[in-house]
Amino acid sequence: MNDSPGWATPGSSPSDGEGSHGTQPPAGNPTGPGDSKWSAEQPPPGQWSSPTPGQTPPNPQQPPAAPQPGAGWGSYGGGYPPPNGGGQGGWGYPAQAVKPGVIPLRPLGMGEILDGAVTTMRKHWRAVLPITLVVAVVVQLATLLLQKYAFSDVVLDQSSSAPLDDQIDALGSLAALTAVDGFVQLIASIVATAMLTMVFSRAVLGHGSSIGAAWREARPQLARLFGLTLLLGIGSALLFTVLVLPGALAGQGALAVLGGLVALGLILWLWIRFALASPALMLEKTTIRKALTRSSKLVKDSWWRIFGITLLTSLITGIVAALIVLPLTLVGGLVFGGGLEGMAEGSGATSWGYLIMAAIGGVIALTITMPIQAGVTVLLYIDQRIRREALDLELARAAGIENYGTTTPPTGG
């Protein structure tokens, strides 16, 4: 492993029955067959539970024995103490883990993942904010121009007397414009996600980053990331069509609705299952197929946890975006959109003042929320690899921490 933000592609995860990743352990790290990645300081694997009354907690002066090969891979944290408060209050584990960057090198709690994303934005704002600001400006400018010069010319007459051909043409034009707007947003978000992934991966090691360095690291994988995103989008659309279309063609509304609900459930399940494919693709420099496989293995047995953290992140960023966008949009409508009457009729929605105010709100909201969402995804990927593959050893070496895993690690800020 080197000090670059990307990490070498690991071999099969320990959950597949292999205990190493094809890398050498740190000097002095006692290893046995199949457990070369485990620190001698780690407690034996097993489900974390409260101590049995009458039992004495482990002696903090005596490091627990190293885990046995092949045992405990499905248990909490691969044998680590719990992230929130674990090791404190007499449990006998170190109170703090090594923290070379924005997160401690151990399994993370939900709060630590969110805090790591926000901390990276704060400490490395010179790299993070310009990336998201440029992307947000491009996205909002494209949306503004389309709304001003294209969407306003599309008249969708829903009256029963409107010719069917005119309605079909209007719907087609609206769909085409929406597709153009979505494509611009897709390209911009892919570029931002790729570059932010590199910034966050360096922040975990305590390394600074620059826009130029993030671009150089991300550029070779951009085409694959675009392909991955497109594949997931097309797959979701096809799945929805296959399950809804039979009921719609048969004229069975209830069957179509049922198919739609099943499709949404499957799409959600697949979305979480492949949620870590993007960071795997970027940081492991792998292919689309291998990235999907890696995500599936890392998410296995942790679907609900990752779903909960992802949902909470979406709720938080959605609330933050709404608190920024809605007031500016309301002011734009009242001042430039003809007041409440113009807003109700929709006549003010194409005025320059209203569109500019809405775009400003969108730029601010995207600039703030985009790095949080990207950061949580990257940190979830790192957290899952720490839990399943002892990636903390690799990260410690890349951060320049000597003898990590051979003795009780020093605490870091």
Helix axis angle for 222-249 and 164-204, nearest 10°, is 140
In sequence order, which residues have a C-beta less than 8 Å from that of residue 210 and are 6 or more positions away? 126, 127
**Helix (H/G/I), strand (E/B), else coil: 376:** helix
Question: What length is written for the chain?
Answer: 413
Residue 325's closest CA among 282, 283, 359, 292? 359
Q: What percent of the chain lies above the pLDDT cut of 70? A: 66
Strand partners, 404: 407
The pLDDT score that the predictor gives to residue 202 is 93
DSSP 46: -
What integer is the mean pLDDT of 224-242? 93
In sequence order, which residues have a C-beta less than 8 Å from that of residue 87 and are 6 or more positions away? 81, 93, 94, 95, 96
What integer is the mean pLDDT of 70-85? 38
**Helix (H/G/I), strand (E/B), else coil: 404:** strand
CA dihedral 187, 192, 198, 199 (to 10 degrees): 170
* 387 CA to centre of own chain: 17
What integer is the mean pLDDT of 213-229? 94
The encoded tokens of residue 311 equal 């949902």
What does each C-alpha distance from 177 to 137, 150, 357 come to in angstroms? 19, 7, 21
What integer is the mean pLDDT of 339-344? 63
The pLDDT score that the predictor gives to residue 46 is 34
pTM over 0.85: no
The pLDDT score that the predictor gives to residue 340 is 64
Amino acid identity of 8? A
The pLDDT score that the predictor gives to residue 127 is 93
Lowest mean pLDDT among 107-111, 244-248, 405-409: 405-409
Whether the predicted pLDDT of 62 surpasses 50? no
What integer is the mean pLDDT of 252-260? 90
The predicted-structure confidence for 298-307, as pLDDT tens digits, reads as follows: 999 999 999 9
What integer is the mean pLDDT of 59-80? 39
Residue 325's closest CA among 373, 375, 363, 371? 363
Give the helix/strand (H/E) hosting 135. helix 125-149
Whether the predicted pLDDT of 149 surpasses 50? yes
Question: Could you tell me the pLDDT band of residue 47, with boundaries at 50, 70 and 90?
Answer: very low
Q: What percent of the chain lies above the pLDDT cut of 90? A: 48
Give the helix/strand (H/E) hosting 281. helix 277-283
Question: Could you tell me the pLDDT band of residue 251, with boundaries at 50, 70 and 90?
Answer: confident
What integer is the mean pLDDT of 240-257? 89
Distance CA 25, CA 394 (A): 9
Averaged pLDDT score across all residues of the chain = 76
